[in-house]
Chain A
Amino acid sequence: GAGVSQSPSNKVTEKGKDVELRCDPISGHTALYWYRQRLGQGLEFLIYFQGNSAPDKSGLPSDRFSAERTGESVSTLTIQRTQQEDSAVYLCASSLDFGANYGYTFGSGTRLTVV
């Protein structure tokens, strides 16, 4: 597609429920990244994919968070047993390739509110 698409754009869920966030990267982009942006804070790295493998999962906050990617396409970030501190904007970005000189293209994010 023309840009990085994320869905849903907004999600309100009850504490303890599971949620799935979806990211459609730009076609042909092999690298895909998930970040989290809490209110008033900077971007927090969660995980990145090169193709469908995840070489760096170091930012996932707990084992309630997981992500997968199908080939060089869609990625899903799953949060199980959501907690109020999970409330944030979850941003996905894709890049033509892994490496220092490729800028990211970001989606508009999914705003998750846990009540």
Chain B
Amino acid sequence: GNSVTQMEGPVTLSEEAFLTINCTYTATGYPSLFWYVQYPGEGLQLLLKATKADDKGSNKGFEATYRKETTSFHLEKGSVQVSDSAVYFCALVTGTASKLTFGTGTRLQVTL
């Protein structure tokens, strides 16, 4: 079956620090990979996605590269801001499955 493993949080960083949130996956078939973000008091929003190996998804300064050889999709940002404080979810879907499978989420706290 499909599964997603994320690094446990919370991750606490100072503003302008470099961010990495690790995500690895197990999937039957060839998955599409996603990062969703949940800001305080809001619903989940799609942050970025990649649909095939070596694709790089990017949005709002965040990037993640689909690495088939390591079954990973790590989220990175070069310089975080306080406004990036949120919970980040890695997720995947395969053509053989009908639903997104989510990781448990990683809370990011950015301080001044």
Which of B16-24, B60-68, B78-86, B93-101 contacts the other chain?
A: B93-101
* A42 contact from B32, B46, B89, B94, Cβ within 8 A: B89
Tell me the number of A-to-B contacts counted with CB atoms below 8 Å: 53
A106–B98 touching, CB < 8 Å:
no
Shortest beta-carbon distance from A7 to chain B in Å: 13
Contact of A103 with B49 in the complex, beta carbons under 8 Å: yes
Residues from chain B with a CB closer than 8 A to the CB of A98 are 98
- CA–CA, A43 and B93, complex, Å: 14
CB-contacts of B92-111 with A (<8 A): 93-95, 98-105
Interchain CB contact under 8 A, B98 and A91: no
Chain A residue contacts of B46, Cβ below 8 A: 103-105
B25 partner residues in chain A, CB cutoff 8 A: none
The answer to whether B99 touches A91, judged by C-beta atoms less than 8 angstroms apart, is no
Asked if A101 is at the interface of the complex by the 8 Å CB criterion, the answer is yes
Which one, B95, B102, B104, contacts A99 given CB within 8 A? B95
A59, chain B: closest CB distance, angstroms: 8
What sequence of 0s and 1s flags, for each residue 96-113 of chain A, a beta carbon within 8 Å of any chain B beta carbon?
Answer: 001111011111110000
Q: C-beta contact mask, B30-46 vs A, less than 8 Å → 1, else 0? A: 11101010000011111
Residues in A lying within 8 Å of B, measured CB to CB: 4, 33, 35, 41-43, 45, 48, 50, 55-56, 91, 93, 98-101, 103-109
